[in-house]
Amino acid sequence: MLVKKMGIVVVLCCSLLVTVGCGKQSGSTEQQSSESTQKISSEKAKKASSESAKKTSSESAKKASSESAKKASSESAQKASSESAKKASSESAQKASSESTKKASSESAKKASSESAKKANNLIDSSLIGTWYGYNKYESKLDTINITGNKIITNGNVTELHLTSERTAADKALLAGSSTAGNSKVDTYKESHWGSFVSLHGEDGRKWLDVRGWYQSAGAGSYYGVKNRVINGRSIPVLTIAGGAGIWASQHFYQDKADANKMSDTMFDDEPSQN
- pLDDT tens per residue across all 275 residues of the chain: 433 444 443 333 334 333 334 344 444 444 554 565 566 555 664 665 556 546 655 565 466 556 654 665 567 657 755 676 577 666 766 766 556 655 655 566 566 555 655 555 566 888 999 999 999 999 999 999 999 888 999 999 999 999 989 999 999 888 887 555 455 678 899 999 999 988 777 777 788 999 999 999 888 889 999 999 999 899 999 999 999 888 899 999 999 999 999 999 999 988 877 76
Looking at residue 3, what is its pLDDT? 37
Residue 37 domain-assigned? no
Number of Cβ within 10 Å of residue 242's Cβ equals 23
Looking at residue 16, what is its pLDDT? 33
3-class DSSP assignment, residue 69: helix
State the residue range of the domain holding 214.
126-263
Please count the structural domains in the chain: 1
Residue 244 domain-assigned? yes
Looking at residue 22, what is its pLDDT? 35
* Cβ proximity of 124 and 147 under 8 Å: yes
Amino acid identity of residue 271, one-letter, is E
Residue 131 domain-assigned? yes
* Cβ proximity of 159 and 146 under 8 Å: no
* Cβ proximity of 198 and 221 under 8 Å: yes
Give the single-character DSSP code of 128: G
253 CB-contact burial (10 Å; exposed 0-12 / middle 13-18 / buried 19+): buried
Give the single-character DSSP code of 254: B
Residue 229 domain-assigned? yes
Looking at residue 8, what is its pLDDT? 41
Q: Is the dihedral of CA 10, 14, 15, 17 positive or negative?
A: positive
Measure the CA–CA gap between 127 and 238, rounded to whole angstroms. Answer: 10
Residue 190 domain-assigned? yes
Looking at residue 220, what is its pLDDT? 85
